């Protein structure tokens, strides 16, 4: 993609949804900006109450962030991501959580299958043998169970459907009819990519999960909600011609 005048546009748009992440969001933003990529960083403040919005505005003034979008009320991660996706201009789009669980340097490897024209989407898997912090057994069981159930309906052989790192070609991503406002986003985008016939690759990544004391927000209730979303988004796909690539 090129901008007016022939200047190359961003190769990768990184959308950073942030809700009350004042302790870590600046570190994440600066680590992203240090990557040797033509990068666009878009942060979406989901009506934070802890000063996150002010930090993001300062980082935009300093040129660390390219754009900050402020949600007027807390609408959830999925809604924040849709706002960021609509504003993205890069050839490829990825989500970067603001909590330091995922290492931005992994993006240098993950983008390669799309860059080489071999994939339409790339998933970074926490369960393919990459280094990871040892934490909760039942969280791992829950993630693998949800991935298995998703695979049954999508006929994919993913190892980590719930991963944050999903790189998708922008032209494809912006055609997907995404509607989920909260944590159903991971299930929905996987279902829509499968339904579109996208070529999906999976590569191992490192992972440093947080404890609840450190700010982790996912609970068992989200797991039950994800189960409902697997049935909903796979059994009742939307109509239209969005599947055409």
Q: Residue 220 has what pLDDT?
A: 59
Q: Could you tell me if 71 and 46 are in contact, meaning their C-beta atoms sit under 8 angstroms apart? A: yes
pLDDT tens, residue by residue, 149-183: 999 999 999 999 999 999 999 999 999 999 998 87
Q: Has this prediction a pTM greater than 0.85?
A: yes
CATH code of 12-235, in short, is 3.90.550.10
Please, which residues have CB within 8 angstroms of residue 179's CB and are 6 or more apart in sequence? 78, 188
Q: Could you tell me if 44 and 17 are in contact, meaning their C-beta atoms sit under 8 angstroms apart? A: yes
Distance CA(46)–CA(223), nearest Å, equals: 22
Residue 215 pLDDT > 50, yes or no? no
pLDDT tens, residue by residue, 48-68: 999 999 999 999 999 999 999
Transcribe 65-120 into DSSP letters: -SEEEE-SS---HHHHHHHHHHH--SSEEEE--TTSSS-GGGHHHHTHHHHTTS-S
Segment (H or E) for 168:
strand 166-169
pLDDT tens, residue by residue, 92-139: 999 999 988 999 999 999 999 999 999 999 999 999 876 666 556 767
pLDDT tens, residue by residue, 176-203: 999 998 879 999 999 999 999 999 999 9
């Amino acid at each position: 993609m090129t901008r007016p005048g022939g200047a190359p546009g961003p190769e990768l748009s990184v959308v950073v949804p942030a809700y009350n992440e004042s302790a870590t969001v600046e570190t994440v933003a600066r680590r992203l900006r240090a990557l040797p990529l033509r990068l666009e960083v878009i942060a979406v403040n989901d009506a934070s109450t802890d000063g996150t919005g002010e930090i993001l505005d300062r980082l935009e003034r300093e040129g660390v962030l390219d754009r900050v979008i402020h949600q007027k009320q807390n609408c959830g991660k999925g809604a924040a991501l849709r706002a960021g996706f609509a504003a993205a201009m890069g050839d490829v789009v990825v989500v970067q959580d603001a909590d330091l669980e995922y290492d931005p340097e992994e993006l240098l490897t993950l983008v390669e299958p799309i860059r080489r024209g071999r994939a339409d989407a790339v998933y970074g898997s926490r369960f393919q043998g990459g280094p990871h912090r040892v934490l909760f057994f039942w969280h791992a069981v829950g993630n693998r169970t949800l991935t298995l159930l998703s695979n049954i309906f999508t006929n994919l052989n993913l190892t980590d459907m719930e991963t944050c790192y999903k790189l998708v070609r922008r032209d494809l991503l912006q055609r997907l009819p995404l509607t989920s406002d909260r944590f159903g986003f991971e299930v929905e985008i996987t279902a829509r990519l499968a339904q579109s016939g996208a070529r999906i690759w999976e590569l191992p990544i490192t992972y440093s999960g947080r404890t609840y004391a450190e700010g982790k927000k996912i609970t068992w209730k989200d797991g039950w909600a994800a189960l409902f979303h697997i049935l909903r988004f796979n059994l009742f796909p939307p109509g239209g011609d969005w599947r055409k690539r």
